[in-house]
Each structure stands twice: as C-alpha cells, then as structure tokens.
Amino acid sequence: MKILVAEPLAKQGLEILRAPGHEVDEKIGLTPEELAAIIGDYDALLVRSQVKVTADILAHANRMVVIGRAGVGVDNVDLDAATKAGIVVVNAPTGNTVSAAEQTITLMLALAHKTAAADASMRRGEWKRSSFTGVELRGRTLGIIGLGKIGQAVADRARGLEMNVIGFDPFVTAEQAALHGVTLAEVDKIIETADVITVHVPLNKATRGIINADNIGKLKPGVMLVNVARGGVYDEAVVAQALKDGKIAGAAIDVYETEPPAADNPLLSAPNTVLTPHLGALTAEAQLRVAEEACEQVVDVLAGRSARYAVNAPLLTPETARAIAPYLPLTEILGRIAAQYLRTGVKTLTVDVGGDLAGCDASQLTAAALRGILADATSERVNLINAGFLAKSRGLTVNERKTSDAGSFASLVTLTVQGDSGSATVAGTIANGEPRLVRINDNWLDMTPAPLMLVTHHQDKPGTMGRIGLILGEADVNISSMTLARMAPRGEALMLLAVDDEVPDAAAAAIKAHPNVLDVWMIRAVAQS
C-alpha cells in the first residue's frame, strides 16, 4: 500500500512502515492545497502536530484507511470527518510521557528560580542577584488538571521535590490517584488553593479557557501557571494581562493557540514568563518512541489488525481483541443475511451476545453487524469505524444486550432487525474455527455461510425440493451444498442452497411460482465486487 509521511519522522519509524513492503513517500512542507491534491493516492498518512488534516482535505482521501499522529493530541485531525469517512485515527500517547513530564518540571523550576530572566540579564553584562530572588517548590501545592499518563508522571516527579500534589480528573479514582501521591480535588479548589497549576488535558469545549476572565481573580496570590499541553487551555490574553497587573507571579508556556504565535501575541510582551517553542515532546528519545508507536499501529491497521491507541474506535484489550476477532466477519455476514432476508429497510437492530463472548466489549461486534446491514444500502464506504455514525445519521436505532445463556453453544451472536413490514432474526457461532449460521427466525440449522445462497420458504411436501433443483439445473446453476430446517415433517420449512452461480430472475420466478413455495430469497453473504 502507499503511505504518505507529511512531517519529519525518525528513520526507525520509516523503516517500520517499509518493512512489510509498503511504498512510503516523504513529502514535507506541503501546503493544504498540495496535500488535498495528492492525498487520494494514499492508503495511510503520518503527521505530527503542524499539518492540519481538515474535513476539506479528507474529502479527497478516497483510499485512506488510517491516519497516524506521532504524538499525543489529535487536535490537528478532524476526527468527525475521519470517522464519517471510515478512517482510523491513531496516536502515540505513551511515547513522549517522560519528555513532557520533564519539560513541565523544568518550566516549574525555571519560574520559581527566575532562571530565564537571570540568564538574559547575565548576557546583557549585568550582575543583579537581588533582582532574581526565587522561591522553593518544596512544601508548596501543585495542582494538576488532567491525571493521564503525563499528569501522573508529573505528580511522581513533583513528589520527589517534596511538593504537595492535588489533582483533578473525572476518570481517575481516588485510589489510583493516591498511587501517585495525588489527592483528588475539584478544579475550583485547585484554582483557589494551588501555588503552581499545570494542565495535561486535550483541547476541547470542556477544557478551553480553564483559566479565563471569570476565574482569574480566584487564583491564589503568587500562583505560577504552566502549560505543556495544548494552547487555548489558558486564555492567553487574560493570563498576559494578569501578569502585567501582578495578579499572578509567573507563567511558563510551551504551547500556543496559534503556532508559531503571532507577533502580537500578548504573552510575548508579558513579564515574568518563560516561553518555549513547543518542546514538550522534542527530545531524541521521545521522537523515536512516538514515531515507532504511531508507525507500528499504521502497519497493524493496514494489515487488518486492531490498533492499540485508535482514538475514534473502541479500545480493546489484547485478550478481548483475540476473543472477538473470529466473530467480526461472522457478525458482518449475519448483518448482510438479516438485511436481505428482511428486504425492507432496517429501522432497528438488536445485537444479542451470549455465552463466553458476553464477557467482552461487544461494541465492535455491533459495528460489524451495522457494516453488514449498511453495505448494500449506501454508496459510502462502510467499515467498523464509521458504521455507527452512518447508522445514526440514517435514524437506525441500535440496541445491544448480553446474556450468559447461549443454549448449547459456547458463544452465540444473534441479530434481530425490524423494518416497516416485519422483523427477522439470524444467529451464528464459531465452530472449529469456522463461521456457522445456526438460526433464521425460529428455524435452527447448521450451515457454513456461502457467498451466494438461495433460500426458500416452502411446504415440506414430496417433490418440492426435487423440482427446485430441476429448475436450477435447467438454468445452469450449480448447487454446492444444501441445508434444510423444518419444524415438523410436511410442515413449513426453510431450505438454504449454496450455489456457485447467480440465479437468473426467470429461474427465481419459476421457483416462487411453484405451488408449495411460499417465498424465495437470493442472499449474498459477501460484498459484491
């Protein structure tokens, strides 16, 4: 496949991309127009933080399967547009943890000891020791907003400086925080009581302007602010004015709302600042780790494997991924069969996961079922990433249920679809490593789904099956296998014929015209080419 690398990456990452035989093009410094013009030729894209992957650019990415971001945040990738297009977006959230944490501590110490200002004074030929009296960090309170990997690493290092650490993160328990010496607190308390505040959160609606005009006055006198996360988490203009007014003691900023910052950015002229050009992940070790982490995942996705850190797909443990992997193609086939058996548009899908499989995250199974249902209902590319988005945009209601009861099966996936004129239920399992179709409505059976299947609902009377076989023979349609499901002798029955050839409309009509045949379906269990 073809991979476009749009920003500089460590050579070890490029070697990972090339190892499976992929064609890798390094094209650095492309304008948005140039990127849009060529992106349609590529299956994968690698970026860092400067290239903006917008919805307009993704509209041209007809082949794109995966975008790799060699770093933590994905602010520069339009996730909604990527998800709608069925493109997996992966990042490298662990590669720069140590570097970002060390940069945070570096900036804290530089602020506390006025290192940058003292250095600048020395270079001007001055010796003004008393002008640079600092403060110790020992015994002071550090407030950390965001206790992910980087926030926790900062806490570990701050404890080494004998600081008291409080933190906020809605997804971290008190017990987990305590492992890193952190006492949980609400954001308001951190703002009001911390001597130093550092943020380690993505930029979104909830985190934009955590420090803003409404709460700048609530900060503790003498507070120092640090940002090695994302520009915009602090309101730059508000912080700059507070520095000029002496309301806060200092600010150390590594990231900016616009990078590089404009000449009129108020932080550039504000006093008591330490400003660095987005150095949080810029160490030799971090650049190597994030490149390897992002590139390994791109290769995995291109090979059809799950990514460890997909930001727009369910994050599965390796154990769960192994458990559900065989059931993904089965569930997609079940979705295709259910939709075609129902005939009318699907309005509601219910996914029942039974047995051993019920202990796993079933979100990808639901996505696989939706892919099967939607595959022939839309001209858009449908995959596990965008299936849920496309279903929601079409008003399709999705329900997911789990039960320990799978009947006589170790695990069972059952799909029930409902439309305007009825419903249909199909079920399947994996037996000896092979997918098996075991139920259609109330009829239990055992069949390996075939790419092409003729299904008849008929009265189980002598000569009916023979007549159907004769009609197919006269149409030069070869039958490779047959499965019969019936509730009672000479009652209603389903017959599934795996056929090697398309059944002509005239032959299907002749079968349906037989007095014992109640209905006929042509089921395509795999995508049409």
Residues designated catalytic: 230, 259, 278
Chain-centre distance for alpha carbon 498? 37
Integer Cα distance of 68 and 512 in angstroms: 52
Q: Specify the 3-state DSSP secondary structure of 367.
A: helix
The structure tokens listed for 73 are 């945040």
Tokens of 527: 């995508």
Q: Which burial class, exposed, middle or buried, applies to 174 when counting CB atoms under 10 A from its CB (0-12, 13-18, 19+)? A: exposed
Dist. CA 185–CA 169, nearest whole Å = 9
DSSP 8-state assignment for residue 176: H
Judge if the upstream peptide bond of residue 260 is cis by omega within 30 degrees of 0.
Answer: yes
Q: Give CA torsion, residues 124, 130, 132, 137, to 10 deg.
A: 160
The answer to whether 95 touches 289, Cβ cutoff 8 Å, is yes
Give just the sign of the alpha carbon dihedral 117, 122, 127, 133. positive
Neighbours of 413 (CB within 10 A): 30
DSSP H stretches of helix in 113-257: 115-123, 149-160, 174-178, 187-193, 236-245
Torsion from C-alpha of 334, 340, 342, 347, nearest 10 degrees: 80
Residue 166 CA: distances (Å) to CA of 175, 230, 522: 13, 21, 64
Which among 94, 150, 3, 86 has a CA at the least distance from the CA of 312?
86
CA gyration radius, the chain: 30
Strand-pair partners of 495: 456, 484
With 0-12 / 13-18 / 19 or more C-beta atoms within 10 angstroms meaning exposed / middle / buried, residue 511 is buried
CB under 8 Å, gap of 24 or more: what pairs does 275-282 form?
Answer: 276/103, 276/107, 276/252, 278/49, 278/254, 279/103, 279/254, 280/96, 280/99, 280/100, 280/103, 280/104, 280/228, 280/254, 280/255, 281/71, 281/72, 281/95, 281/96, 281/99, 281/100, 282/99
Q: How many whole angstroms separate alpha carbon 229 and alpha carbon 265?
A: 18
